[in-house]
Amino acid sequence: MKTNQIIKTLTAASLTVMIAACSTTSDDGPVAQTKKPQKEEPVIVTDVVVAEEAIAAETPVEVESDSEDQKVVITGSSIRGNIKEDALTAPAPQAPQTSILAEAKKRGKQSASVRKREARAEKVIVPHPELPPKFYHRNTNYQIFKAYGVNPTVLTQAEPVSTFSMDADNGSYKLALNMLKRHQLPAKEGIRVEEFINAMDYQYQPSEELFGLSAEVMPSPFRPGYHLLHLGVQTKQIDEEARKPLNLVIVADVSGSMAADNKLDMLKQAMITLVSQLRDNDKVALVTYSDGANVVIPPTEARNAQYINQSIRQLYTQGSTNAAAGLQLGYKLADQMFDAEFNNRVILTSDGMANVGSTQPEQILNQIEGYKEKGVFLTTVGVGIGMYNDHLLEQLANKGNGNYLYLSGYKDIQEAFVEKLTQNIQTVAKDAKVQVEFNTDKVSHYRLLGYENRHLNKKDFLDAKKDGGELGAGYRVTALYEVKLTDKNEDLGTLNIAYKYPMSEKVRTLKKDIPASVIRNNVLLASSDLRLSAVAAAFAEKLRQSYWSRLYSYQKIDELLVSLPATYQRKDSVQQLSMAIEQAALLDKRVDPFHEHGPISTIDIDRVPLLQ
C-alpha cells in the first residue's frame, strides 16, 4: 500500500485548502511506522507532506501554506467571525499560533490571509475561512473530521438577524455515543452541537399546516445572565399508508475496510430490515462498489423480498473504495427509475474512506448535480469507528439534498428504517432555512448554539439558488440561542421559515412572532423539551471544549437531566444521553485550552478576551 499523503495548497487571498487524503491503492488503512518526534509542536515541511510523524504522535494535523515550496503543519481549529468589530464579543480564542507566524516571518512570507485578519473586520457576517478536514490517528482509529469553529456572541444592535439552513441529521451524536460506549472520548472536531440537539425526541404539538412552529425561553443554567431560546420546527405527520411509493437505489460499500468492526454485516442487517418495511410496489435496486461499481440487483419490486435479501446476504468485502463510481452508477439507475409521483432516493452506505477515483465531497457532488436538481434525494448511512470519514458522509448529505445517519447497532437500525422510515424517505420540503430577526429593544446579545456549517447570510434567505436543508414527513428541527434580555416587556422578535416543495423551485415563506409570553422565569417552570435540549447542547459544547463550557461541569449537566419527569427518564434516547454524560465525565482529562490566555477568573460573561 502506498504511503498516505496529504497535499495542501493555500492561496495568498484565502485559507482555502485542498486535501488529497488517503490516496492509497488498497483499503487497509493508513500506515504510521515512522518514529515519534521528540517534541509535539508544529512541523515545517516542504511540497508533499507525509503526515505519519504527526499521526504517530497522536497530534491532529492541519496544514496552511503560503507558497508551493513552503508548507506548515499546525494544530487547532477555526473560529467563525468577521462580524463588525462592535458587533460581537470576540470569538472564543483558539490555540495560539504565534509559533507558526514566527516561522512564516522568518522566511519573509507572512500570508495575505494573516495581514487581512489584522486589518479592520468587514461590516457583514461572513463565514470565517475554513481549515481543512483533520486526519486523526488515535489508538486504532483513523478518522477524518472537519471543524467549523464556534459561533460568537453577537451584539443585537449591530446585527439583529441570524440566518441558517435547517439540519436534522444525527451522525455526529450517534458516532460520539458509539465511541463513548467503547470508552473512547470523541474528537472535539467531530462534535456538531445541532446534531446532538436534534437527536433528542421532543413532543412538539402537531399542526395541520406543513410546519408547526414552537418557542420557549428559560434562564440559562450554564451561562449566568443569559436565557436559552428554544425554537422548534415540526413538519406535518404522514401516515405510512399515505406516503408515496418509493424508487430506491442502495449504493453499498463492499471495500476492504468494511470487513473491520463488522461494518458490512451491520449494513446487511440494515438493508434487510429496510426491505422488510417496504410495500410490494416499491422498487429497489442495489449497486456495490470497491475498486469499481457493479449492479447486483436491477430495479426490482419489493414483493420479491426473498431474492433481494438473498443477494444482500451474499455480499462480501474486497478491494479499494471508489465511492464516486458507486454513486455515479447508483444515480444513473435512479434516473432510469425516476417517477415524479414517487419518492426517488439513493441511500449510500459506507465508512466514508474513499481512496480511489474522486475522493472529495465537492468532486463527487459535481458529478451528481444534475440528478439532484431533477429531484433525486440522498441519504448517507455511516458505520464503524476504526476507519471513518465523517466529513465526506456529512458533506455529501448536506449539499446533496439529503440527510446523514449513523448506525452503531440494532437499535439505530430499528430507529432509522422502522420507526422513522417515512421521515427518512419522504421529503416534504427542500432548501428549508431559518431566519430569526431579534427585537433590539428586548434582546441585547445572542449566540446560536451549533449550525456553524449551516451559516447563511441575510440575503441568502430568499435566494432560490442557495441550498438549505431537506425535511421529511414528521421531522423535528430544533435550534437553541443564548440570549441576553432587557427589562422591556416586548416581543423577542420574529421566526421566519423559507422552503420549497420537493418538486418546485418557488420559495415559500412562513412568519411567526416570538412573544414575551413564552419566557419562563425559572428553569423548573420550563417544558421538559426545553430542558432536554439544553442538556444536549451543553453536553456537546463540553465535548468540543467551547469557550463558555468552562463555566460548568458534567455533573451540572447531569443534574438538569435528572430534573426531567419520569416519562422522559424512561425514554431510550434520554437513558443513552445519561450514560454518555457519565462516561464522558470519567474519560475527559483534557486541560482547559484557554486557561493560559483567558483564565476562568477573568471571564466577562458578554465579552471573550482578545489575545494580545
Q: What is the 3-state secondary structure (H, E, C) of 322-381?
A: CHHHHHHHHHHHHHHHCCCCCEEEEEEEECCCCCCCCCCHHHHHHHHHHHHHHCCEEEEE
Q: What does the block give as the cell for 592?
A: 482547559
Q: What does the block give as the cell for 509?
A: 415563506
Query: Lowest-pLDDT range, 53-57, 103-107, 447-451, 563-567?
Result: 53-57
239-285 per-position pLDDT tens digit? 888 899 999 999 999 999 999 888 999 999 999 999 999 999 999 99
Q: Domains of the chain: which residue ranges? A: 1-149, 162-168+209-238+428-526, 244-425, 529-602
CATH 3.40.50.410, applies to 244-425: yes
pLDDT value at residue 93: 36
Find the helix or strand (DSSP H, E) in which 229 lies: strand 227-235
Q: How confident is the model at residue 604 (pLDDT cuts 50, 70, 90)?
A: confident
CATH 2.60.40.1230, applies to 162-168+209-238+428-526: yes
Opening angle at CA 573, ends 571 and 579, nearest 5? 105
**Contact, 37 vs 52, CB < 8 A?**
no
346-390 per-position pLDDT tens digit? 999 999 988 878 778 888 888 887 788 889 999 999 998 888 999
Question: Regarding predicted confidence, which is higher, 474 or 121?
Answer: 474
Q: What does the block give as the cell for 586?
A: 470519567
Distance (Å, whole) CA 314 – CA 171 = 28
Q: How confident is the model at residue 46 (pLDDT cuts 50, 70, 90)?
A: very low
pTM above 0.85, yes or no: no
Distance (Å, whole) CA 213 – CA 379 = 25
Name 130's Cβ contacts closer than 8 Å, sequence gap at least 6: 15, 16, 78, 146, 148, 149
Distance (Å, whole) CA 296 – CA 302 = 15
SS3 annotation, 50-62: CCHHHHHCCCCEE
Q: What Rg do the C-alpha atoms of the chain give, in angstroms?
A: 24
Helix (H, G, I), strand (E, B) or coil at 478: strand
Q: What does the block give as the cell for 68?
A: 508551493
- The percentage of the chain sitting over the pLDDT mark of 90, rounded to a whole number, equals 65
**Contact, 60 vs 134, CB < 8 A?**
yes
**Alpha-carbon distance values, 601 to 88, 110, 556, 608 (Å):** 21, 34, 19, 12
**Alpha-carbon distance values, 472 to 2, 163, 272, 465, 515 (Å):** 42, 21, 22, 21, 28
pLDDT surpasses 50 at 130: no
**Alpha-carbon distance values, 87 to 380, 450, 603 (Å):** 38, 19, 19
- 162-168+209-238+428-526 and 244-425 in the same fold: no
Distance (Å, whole) CA 543 – CA 187 = 8
